[in-house]
Amino acid sequence: MRQLTSCLAALVLSTSALKAAPPSVPPGDAPELAALGPYAVGATTIGIPAAEGASRKLRVVLWYPASKQTYGRPMLYRHRLQPAPPLTAIDTKTEALAVSGAAPTKGRFPLVIVSHGYRGWPESMSYITENLASKGYVVAGVDHGDLPFTDAAGFNASFALTASTRARDQQAVLARLKQLASAAGDRLGAAIDAERVALIGYSMGGFGALATAGAGYDPESAAYRSLPAGALADQADGKRPADPRIRAVVAIAPWGAQPPHRAWSSESMKRLKVPLMVIAGDQDDVSGYAEGIRWVFDNATGADRHLLLYRNARHNVGGNPSPAEARGSFKFREMFDEPVWRTDRINAINQHFMTAFLNRHLKDDSAAAAFLEPSKEGTWPGFQPRWGLGFELQKKDAE
C-alpha cells in the first residue's frame, strides 16, 4: 500500500508539472479546419486613442503570422480578474502560442478585429486570435477598458460607457490600423491588408460590431434612450455609412436585440449588407436567444448569413475556458464555462466554422464554401464520424 501511495503521489506531481496546451491549440476531437495553420504566431501590443479628441486610450494586442525562424519562448498571458462584488480579484494565467515581438513573415494578410464582451479582455479570446494568426490573418484584439464597479451606481456608469463606446472603439482601431498599413517602413503595418477586414464581436463586442458593419441603432429604442443624451448619436441608424473595407462579421451571442432593450428596428437591421455569421446557445439567458440573437439572424435580411447554434448552451460560447485559478469557485467558473458543453469543444467548432467563413469572404477561397452548407446531423464535412452532434448550422440568403 505504501509503495502504491508513493507511486500515485509521484504521478500527481509529474502531471501537475505539465503545462496546459494554449486554448488556440485544438483538442484531438476537433473538426478539420480547427487545426493550426502553417505560420508561427507573433504578438505585440500598441496603444490607440479611443476616438478623436478622446482621453481614453485603447490597448490593442496584434497577433500576426511570424517567420518560423523566429526563436523565443511563448508568452504567458496574465490578467487580474476583477469580478463584480462580492467576489474579490484573482490573478490568472493562460498559456500562449505566440512569441512576443517575433518577426512578421513576408506578405500582407487580411485584418480581423476582435472585440470582447463586457468586462472581458483581448487575451480572453486567444483561442481564436492565435488560431487565425497561424492561418494567415493579422488579428487585432481590442481592450475596451470597461470600468470596474462596486455598487449599482458604479455598474450603471460602467455599462453605459461600454454600450456607448463599443462600436466607436472598433472604428477607431480600424482607422488607425489602416494608417499603419499605409505607413512606409512600418514592420507590422507591412503585414496588414486593411482593404480586407472582418469583425468578430462577442456579446457587447457583437453589439458594437453589428453597428460598425452597417446596422445603426434605432433612436427610438429603449437601449438608445437609456444612455446619456447623444451617447450613440453618431452610431444611429442612417448617420454613418458602412465601411466598404469590412467584408464579413461574426457576432457571437450579440447583446442588445432582446426586449426590452432592443437597440435596432427591423429596418435598421436590414442595412447590414455584408456576410454575417451568428453564433449562439439556444439557452442564452444573457442576450436572449429566441427574441434576441435569433431576431438578429432573422432580421438581417440584407445579408447572406449563417447561424451556428449550440443546443443546451447558454452565453459562454465565445471565450477561452476558465483559467485554472478560477475553477475552485462556481461563481468564478460560471463566468467562463458552460453547464453542458466542454468549452474546448465549443472553441474547436468555432475555430472550424469561423475559419471556413473568413477564408471564404476574406481570401475568396471557394473550397471553404463546402464547409458552410447545412448538412444532415452527424455527417458534417470535416467532422469525425459520429461526432457532429449537438449543434446546427443554418443558412439564409439576402433578400
pLDDT band at 371; cut points 50, 70, 90: very high
CB-based contacts of 132, cutoff 8 Å, min separation 6: 63, 112, 139, 354, 355, 358
Mean pLDDT computed over every residue of the chain: 92
DSSP string over 152-199: HHHHHHHHHHHHHHHHHHHHHHHHHHHHHHHSTT-TTGGGEEEEEEEE
Grid cell locating 374: 447545412
pLDDT at residue 184, as a whole number:
86
Q: Is 100 exposed, middle or buried (0-12, 13-18, 19+ CB in 10 A)?
A: middle
DSSP, collapsed to helix, strand or coil, labels residue 5 as helix
CA dihedral 289, 294, 296, 300 (to 10 degrees): 170
Q: 109 forms bridges with which residues in the sheet?
A: 192
pLDDT at residue 251, as a whole number:
98
- What percent of the chain is modeled with pLDDT above 90? 82
Alpha-carbon distance values, 388 to 27, 263, 371, 375, 383 (Å): 15, 34, 13, 10, 6
CA pair distance 257, 280, nearest whole angstrom = 13
Q: Nearest 5 degrees, angle CA 22-CA 171-CA 150?
A: 65
- Check whether 55 has a pLDDT greater than 80: no
Over residues 105-118, the pLDDT tens digits come to 999 999 999 999 99
CB 240 within 8 A of CB 278: no
Nearest CA among 120, 200, 202, 124 for reference residue 158: 120
Q: What are phi and psi of 118, to 5 degrees?
A: -60, 125
- What percent of the chain is modeled with pLDDT above 70? 94
Preceding amide of 65 cis, omega within 30: no
Q: What is the mean pLDDT of residues 33-51?
A: 95
Tell whether the torsion through CA atoms of 82, 83, 84 and 88 is positive or negative. negative
- Within 10 A of 28 (CB to CB), how many other CB atoms are there? 6
Q: Is 5 exposed, middle or buried (0-12, 13-18, 19+ CB in 10 A)?
A: exposed
- Check whether 235 has a pLDDT greater than 60: yes
DSSP, collapsed to helix, strand or coil, labels residue 128 as helix
Q: What is the mean pLDDT of residues 372-391?
A: 90
Over residues 91-140, the pLDDT tens digits come to 999 999 999 999 999 999 999 999 999 999 999 999 999 999 999 999 99
Buried b / exposed e across 224-242, counting CB within 10 Å, b at 16+? beebeeebbeebbbeebeb
CB 109 within 8 A of CB 64: yes
Over residues 259-273, the pLDDT tens digits come to 999 999 999 999 999
- Give the global pTM: 0.94
CA pair distance 125, 296, nearest whole angstrom = 23
Over residues 4-17, the pLDDT tens digits come to 333 323 333 333 34
Nearest CA among 299, 253, 303, 305 for reference residue 279: 253
> Which is more confidently placed, 218 or 153?
218
Nearest CA among 20, 94, 26, 39 for reference residue 351: 26
CB 252 within 8 A of CB 277: no
CA pair distance 300, 204, nearest whole angstrom = 18
CB-based contacts of 266, cutoff 8 Å, min separation 6: 299
Over residues 217-230, the pLDDT tens digits come to 999 999 999 999 88
Distance of CA 157 to the CA centre of its chain: 24
> Which is more confidently placed, 84 or 37?
37
CB 202 within 8 A of CB 252: yes
Q: Where are the beta strands (DSSP E) in 170-275?
A: 192-202, 246-252
- Name the range with the highest mean pLDDT among 135-139, 241-245, 376-380: 135-139
Over residues 292-306, the pLDDT tens digits come to 999 999 999 999 999
Q: What is the mean pLDDT of residues 319-327?
A: 94
pLDDT at residue 52, as a whole number:
59
CA dihedral 245, 251, 255, 258 (to 10 degrees): 110
Nearest CA among 310, 268, 278, 306 for reference residue 203: 278
